[in-house]
Amino acid sequence: MKLSDYVIDFIVKEKVRHVFEMVGGAITHLLDSVHGRKDIVCVSMHHEQAAAFAAEGYARVNGRLGVAMATSGPGALNMLTPIGSCYFDSVPCLFITGQVNTYEYKFNSPVRQIGFQETDIVSVARPLVKYGEMITDASRIRYCVEKAVFLARSGRPGPVLLDIPMNIQRAEINPKKLKGFFGTPEHRRLAKINAPSQAVIARIVKLISAAKRPVILAGGGVRTSGAAAELEILVKKTGIPVVTSLMGLDSFAHDDPSFAGMIGAYGNRYANLALANSDLLLVLGSRLDNRQTGTKPATFARGAVKIHVDIDPVELNAKVKTDIALNCDARVFIKALNSALSARPRSALAPWYKVMDDCRLRYPASESKNPGGDIQPNNFMAFLSARAKGSDIVCLDVGQNQMWAAQSFKVKKGQRMLVSGGMGSMGFSMPAAIGAVLAAPGKRALVICGDGGIQVNIQDMDALVKLRLPVKIVIMNNGCLGMVRQFQDIYFGGRRQSTEIGYHCPDIKKIAVAYGVKVYTIRAMGQAGKVLDSALNYNGPVLIDVKLGKNTTVDPKLTVNCPIEDMSPHLSPEVLEKEMIVKAAPDKRKI
């Protein structure tokens, strides 16, 4: 059979029903192998970045694998940002690039290029993939695709890249004679799974029983490992409150009485205070980067015994020194812990919950200012979340919009919230939503983005209309690049170069209409209910333009060299001291 047919057959066997791509000469054999099939569809996009982000959204929702293809040279290079996004956020995706014929490729020649659009994409992408290979021998195709997909999903998931020259794509192969990856020494070495010892589990059980102010920090690894259900059981058994990282927002229902908010640089003030005052911190699948800990990690949960569970051994004790560091899959760990725990009523932690609940009343998640506009962004997010279905997939872009949603959109059980975390790429949300709804037929996606982010991949509004996808785009439109503008206001004396000066946003509504997207506008909160009800019930893609004042801010915000409990706008030293149970951190507020 033709090698390109073998590759597509393999993808179908992995239960992938959509491949995202932008056509190019070097992948025409692969595209032709999809043509006419009923079990897999090519989703044609207008930019390779959008195609690869769509594959990422697809993988995040189906939990197995996303696939994107691009031609050699510019097509392959355009996928690098989503490849990096999958790498940093642990998303299993297979990226396939076309390459010039092997007899046109330069290999070790000192010349810059021989074939048209020839580019060594494997070398370029190597720091951002778990595995990458240019296939120069057609007989290795089975080994390479099996290894690639295994690595994409095993351990800490991530992206893999196969670069397939055109003459290899069209090669004739005998599948029965191909050497496989599974069962080889390399596979056995890579397939080892760590499990926590009974002694360590017993020690953790004792620590949980003794704790007066315990907190669970749920990171993105809870969702990635499929441990959300086990986490819910753990919380019911122990009564321990849960805070999340940005990536862990959809790992625990926000209407559960044990949910205590999102922590970090743009976290809820009450959540940061809860973590700062804890005496036991159980970190599940979070890499504890400085967006969570602040720039002084030594002050992070300084009064707590810290237990850190992560599938990636290099993340343990990398930023925050912990008392127990476990290299283990989050789901494996939580299941083992649940088996060893005896049920404890939530009332046993009633004094701790009262401290946290009182703090939440004093510092609600609506500190952000809305000068010059009627709409308070955090209140709007809470309002939007109340109207969202329990099955919705919420896709956040990057910027102020992301943080308002992270602070105030109340994620229901069954909802997903897809976030570009480590890469933090504007332009992520809409293509990710395209992939997400194709991975989950019958579900709807809510895209939350800014007027800057929507312009990055605005061309693929066309895919929404072409495929008649149930995607609702909510633009938090303040007419500037607000996140960096706020940073400039704090650190650069309000000199707004390129965020306001030089920045321009056209009438996005007219662009949406040109693509065939239904458009709505909200200028005041008094209109929001009626407009949202109409827009969310419309059968097809819509754009909702939410008009904000230009000087809107994201508050609270952690500034440099402050512990996470001391957020801007700063509480007075006297008030902050009253909020703290543990000893105050040294050198606070020194910038």
pLDDT digits (tens, 9 = 90+) for 342-367: 998 888 999 999 999 999 999 998 88
Over 70: is that where the pLDDT of 161 sits?
A: yes
Q: Does residue 590 have a pLDDT over 60?
A: no
**151, 166, 190 — which closes off a domain?**
190
Q: Is the pLDDT of residue 180 over 70?
A: yes
Q: How much is the pLDDT for 501?
A: 95
Indicate whether 559 belongs to any domain. Answer: no
Predicted confidence band of residue 238 (pLDDT cuts 50, 70, 90): very high
Where b means 16+ CB within 10 Å and e means fewer, 437-473 reads bbbbeebbbbbbbbbbbbbbbbbbbbbbbebebbbbb
Cα distance between residue 58 and residue 50, in whole Å: 12
Out of 362, 392, 411, pick the residue that ends a domain. Answer: 362
Residues 107 and 221 in one domain: no
Chain Cα centroid distance, residue 462: 24
The per-residue pLDDT for 589 is 53
Whether residue 523 sits in one domain with residue 433? yes
Residue 590 belongs to some domain of the structure: no
pLDDT of residue 371: 83
Residues 275 and 417 in one domain: no
pLDDT in tens, 400-444: 999 999 999 999 999 999 999 999 999 999 999 999 999 999 999
Same domain assignment for residues 273 and 232: yes
User: Residue 588 — pLDDT band, cuts 50, 70, 90?
Assistant: low
Domain of residue 227 covers: 198-362
Q: What is the pLDDT of residue 427?
A: 97
State the pLDDT at residue 346.
85
Task: Judge whether residue 591 has pLDDT over 50.
Answer: no
Paired tokens of 580: 């703290």
Beta strands in 195-304 (DSSP E): 214-218, 242-244, 259-262, 280-284
Per DSSP, the residues of 135-193 read ---GGGHHHHHHHHHHHHHSSS--EEEEEEEHHHHT-B--GGGPPPSTTSHHHHHHT--
Query: Is the Cα dihedral 374, 378, 380, 382 positive or negative?
Result: negative
pLDDT in tens, 362-403: 999 888 888 888 999 999 999 999 999 999 999 999 999 999
Q: CA 250, CA 244: separation in Å to the nearest integer?
A: 9
Per residue in 203-219, pLDDT tens?
999 999 999 999 999 99
Percent of the chain with pLDDT over 70: 99
Whether 583 maps to a domain, the answer reads no
Assigned domain for 108 exists: yes
Which is higher by pLDDT, 556 or 372?
Answer: 556
Nearest to 215 by CA among 296, 145, 275: 275
Residues in Cβ contact with 520 at an 8 Å cutoff, skipping those fewer than 6 apart: 531, 534, 535, 542, 543, 544, 545
Q: Confirm whether 371 is domain-assigned.
A: no
Average pLDDT, the chain: 95
89-138 per-position pLDDT tens digit: 999 999 999 999 999 999 999 999 998 999 999 999 999 999 999 999 99
Statement to judge: residues 428 and 343 lie in one domain: no
Of 190, 223, 243, the residue at which a domain comes to its end is: 190
pLDDT digits (tens, 9 = 90+) for 273-325: 999 999 999 999 999 999 999 999 999 999 999 999 999 999 999 999 999 99
Task: Answer whether residue 589 is part of any domain.
Answer: no
Asked if residue 588 belongs to a domain, the reply is no
3-state helix, strand, coil in the chain (%, to 5): 40, 15, 40
> Which amino acid appears at position 80 of this protein?
L
Q: Which helix (H) or strand (E) holds 231?
A: helix 228-238
Closest CA to 253 of 278, 220, 226, 229: 229
Domain identity same for 18 and 159? yes
Q: In terms of domains, do 257 and 323 share one? A: yes
Q: Is 177 inside any structural domain?
A: yes
Indicate the number of domains in the chain. Answer: 3
DSSP letter for 329, please.
-
Let me know: does 475 contact 449? Beta carbons within 8 Å. yes
Q: How many other C-beta atoms lie within 10 A of the C-beta of residue 515?
A: 17
**pLDDT (mean) for 1-15:** 98
Average pLDDT over residues 495-510: 94
Under 8 Å CB-to-CB from 514, ≥6 apart: which residues? none
Q: What is the structure's pLDDT at 372?
A: 84
Same domain, 104 and 84: yes
Residue 491 has pLDDT above 70, yes or no: yes
195: left (phi over 0), alpha (psi -120 to 50) or beta: beta
- What burial class does residue 506 get, using C-beta atoms within 10 Å of its C-beta: 0-12 exposed, 13-18 middle, 19+ buried? exposed
CATH assignment of the domain containing 142: 3.40.50.970
Tens digits of per-residue pLDDT, 467-480? 999 999 999 999 99
The CATH code of the domain that includes 249 is 3.40.50.1220
Mean pLDDT across the stretch 476-488?
94
Neighbours of 498 (CB within 10 A): 12
Same domain flag for 21 and 161: yes
Distance (Å, whole) CA 269 – CA 360: 8
Q: Are residues 22 and 146 located together in one domain of the fold? A: yes
Contact assessment for residue 303 and residue 277, using Cβ atoms and an 8 Å cutoff: yes
pLDDT in tens, 451-465: 999 999 999 999 999
Looking at the structure, do residues 162 and 51 belong to the same domain, yes or no?
A: yes
Verify that 180 and 202 share a domain, yes or no.
no
Residue 587 has pLDDT above 70, yes or no: no
